[in-house]
Copies of this chain bind each other. A is one copy, B any other.
Amino acid sequence: MTFQAPESLSEQIAQHLGQRIVTRDLMPGARIQELKVASDLNVSRGSVREALLILERRHLIQIFPRRGAVVSSLTVASVNNLYDIYIDLLCMLGRKIVERWAGDELRGVMGRVREVETVVQAVNSTGPDSAEKVIEAGFGVMRYAYELVDNPFLEETLENFRPAISRTYFVALENFRDGIGQTAVFFRRLGDAALSGDAERLQSAIQAFGEHQRQQVLSILMEEESA
């Protein structure tokens, strides 16, 4: 049995506010007022300031000197910039796995992707949390990939983008519900590509998956913007 240190207070505040930003309960462009958060949550102003630095690192807010913190924008341009770098970093993760692992090892490794496929296929696409389960399963594959690649800089950088990516999924959640069958197909292609040990093929599969998600998000966002 292992005991884990509880999250620091500032981390707890960051997760609370972060969840509100990801679900767009706190809207893009909204100001976050230190004093108000401190009094609402009954915590010190210092803890809130630390939480805001954590949220800035996770790309969910921007802090302007003297003007304070503002929830990051969520526009066609910002989604494109975000997916550009995110897909690129995922490709790097994929390349590193293929470089480091081969043959039998890779087959063991890719059992994890197969498990996700099974989860995805078993999900009742009409169930209430189906999209969330599939999204969580996808992040689970990434966490497993981190262990294999063992580059803390890459892991940290990708993890810092995760909340902002999650927010874009929330935009397109209804679409994800409809497209769960399609997501399973992408997972299968990922698994096959990884098993082949062909870095180019894995990269193409990652890009195809990423571009698919990007387009889903963009199409909803464009509808919203023109509404």
A residues contacting B by CB (< 8 A) are 5-8, 46, 49-50, 53-54, 57, 59, 65-66, 81-82, 84-85, 88-89, 92, 96, 151-154, 156-157, 161
Count this chain's copies in the assembly.
2
Q: Is the interface of A mostly helix, strand, loop or mixed?
A: helix
Q: Is the CB of A92 within 8 A of B85?
A: yes
Q: Is the CB of B96 within 8 A of A84?
A: yes
Bound form: Cα–Cα A13–B46 in Å: 16
Q: What are 15 sample pairs from A and B whose C-beta atoms fall under 8 A apart?
A: A7-B65, A8-B65, A50-B53, A53-B53, A53-B54, A59-B156, A82-B153, A84-B92, A84-B96, A84-B153, A85-B89, A85-B92, A85-B151, A85-B153, A88-B92
Output the least CB separation between A141 and chain B (Å): 20
Output the least CB separation between A213 and chain B (Å): 16
Output the least CB separation between A126 and chain B (Å): 35
Bound form: Cα–Cα A154–B46 in Å: 29
User: Which residues in B have their C-beta under 8 angstroms from that of A84?
Assistant: 92, 96, 151, 153-154
Q: Is the CB of B65 within 8 A of A5?
A: yes
Output the least CB separation between A7 and chain B (Å): 8
Interface residue from B5, B7, B53, B157 paired with A85 (Cβ < 8 Å): B157
Bound form: Cα–Cα A81–B152 in Å: 7
User: Which residues in B have their C-beta under 8 angstroms from that of A157?
Assistant: 85, 157
Output the least CB separation between A157 and chain B (Å): 6
